[in-house]
């Protein structure tokens, strides 16, 4: 049989079709997909929520009861923030923010016994180039506009930019935010190190994506396809083989199949002889039970 070009194209298209499973939903909260590598980044592992309580005690002892913290260093305040969720702390009396929005504060700092919001909850991380970024906006009014907050609807408000960096040595559910700086006490920049920012192949059960076993199977199929197509091309163009002999390692596979064929044919006669002996023994025993003589007619 000749392996034509159409056969090769059909084999490649079949393998590629197996690997084109639907990807997880890009609109899922706190998940982003890299446009350059195609990897998925799930930040839900470092998103904190109030610990579940039972009889006044935490159900999980290791559950955190406070948000992530970052030192201000030369900035005259330290920061408290959460990822894709409001802070765990009960924040009240936030400067320039309506009381109905206090529960949405995702980052803040305290200074001179006052609480300043630097952004409300957002759960849509995105990529700016190769950088995974999450923005919080609509915080407390910026210093220059603080006095105009009650009269001017276009007042500038504090915001936060977080850039996530991969840290493979960090535990899966741990984030380490670091304050980088603020030029005008209006926009605050942080770097967050976490293993969640390293990316991976995410699997969404509703999307029918491939699991680890499926990915391994696709890799094996691609390897076999490369072996067959490359070997056939070499045998056909370089060695000028035709028919089955253009298959890679034809002699090896032919010897293997001959061995299997001989083994099967060797087992069939043995099985036939055993069946024949069993039938012959049963017939002989039947004749002996009848006395070995034909029955005579009774006159």
Q: Note the pLDDT tens digit of each residue in 95-123.
A: 999 999 999 999 999 999 999 999 999 99
Which residues have a Cβ under 8 Å from the Cβ of 175 and sit 6 or more positions away? Answer: 46, 68, 83, 192, 193, 194, 196
CATH number of the domain bearing residue 107: 2.70.130.10
Same domain flag for 186 and 65: yes
Q: What is the DSSP letter of 19?
A: T
Domain holding 98, by residue range, is 22-198
pLDDT of residue 288: 53
Domain end point (choices 198, 213, 229):
198
Residue 107 lies in a domain: yes
Same domain flag for 61 and 144: yes
Same domain flag for 156 and 270: no
Domain end point (choices 198, 229, 244):
198
pLDDT of residue 115: 96
CA 84 remoteness from chain centre: 19
pLDDT of residue 147: 60
Same domain flag for 27 and 173: yes
Residue 234 lies in a domain: no
Low-confidence ranges of the chain (pLDDT < 50): 1-24, 204-205, 293, 295-299
CA 23 remoteness from chain centre: 9
**Is there a contact between 157 and 164 (Cβ–Cβ < 8 Å)?**
no
pLDDT tens digits for 223-260?
988 888 888 888 888 878 887 777 887 778 778 878 88
CA 253 remoteness from chain centre: 38
Domain total of the chain:
2
Same domain flag for 45 and 185: yes
Domain end point (choices 163, 183, 198):
198
Q: Would residue 199 be called left, alpha or beta, if left means φ above 0 and alpha means ψ between -120 and 50 degrees?
A: left
pLDDT tens digits for 228-237?
888 888 888 8
Residue 99 lies in a domain: yes
Residue 220 lies in a domain: no
């Amino acid at each position: 049989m000749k392996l034509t070009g159409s056969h090769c194209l059909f084999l490649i298209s079949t393998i590629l079709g197996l690997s084109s499973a639907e990807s997880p939903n890009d609109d899922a909260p706190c998940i982003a997909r890299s446009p350059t590598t195609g990897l998925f980044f799930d930040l839900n592992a470092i998103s904190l929520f109030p610990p579940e309580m039972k009889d006044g005690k935490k159900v999980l002892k290791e559950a955190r009861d406070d948000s992530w913290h970052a030192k201000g260093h030369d900035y005259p305040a330290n920061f408290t923030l959460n990822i894709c969720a409001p802070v765990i702390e009960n924040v009240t009396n936030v400067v320039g923010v309506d009381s109905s929005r206090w529960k949405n504060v995702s980052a803040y700092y305290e200074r001179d016994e006052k609480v300043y919001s630097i952004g409300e909850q957002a759960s849509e991380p995105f990529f700016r180039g190769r950088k995974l970024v999450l923005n919080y906006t609509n915080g407390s009014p910026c210093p220059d506009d603080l006095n105009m907050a009650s009269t001017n609807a276009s007042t500038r408000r504090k915001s936060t930019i977080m850039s996530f960096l991969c840290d493979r040595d960090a535990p899966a559910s741990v984030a380490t935010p670091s304050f980088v700086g603020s030029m005008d006490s209006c926009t605050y920049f942080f770097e967050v190190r976490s293993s969640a920012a390293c990316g991976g192949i995410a699997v969404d059960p509703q999307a029918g994506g491939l699991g680890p076993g499926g990915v391994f199977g696709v890799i094996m199929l691609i390897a076999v396809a490369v072996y067959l197509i490359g070997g056939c091309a070499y045998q056909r163009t370089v060695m000028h083989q035709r028919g089955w002999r253009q298959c890679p390692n034809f002699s090896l596979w032919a010897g293997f199949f001959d061995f299997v064929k001989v083994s099967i044919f060797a087992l069939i006669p043995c099985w036939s002889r055993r069946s024949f002996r069993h039938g012959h023994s049963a017939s002989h025993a039947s004749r002996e039970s009848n006395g070995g003589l034909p029955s005579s007619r009774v006159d």
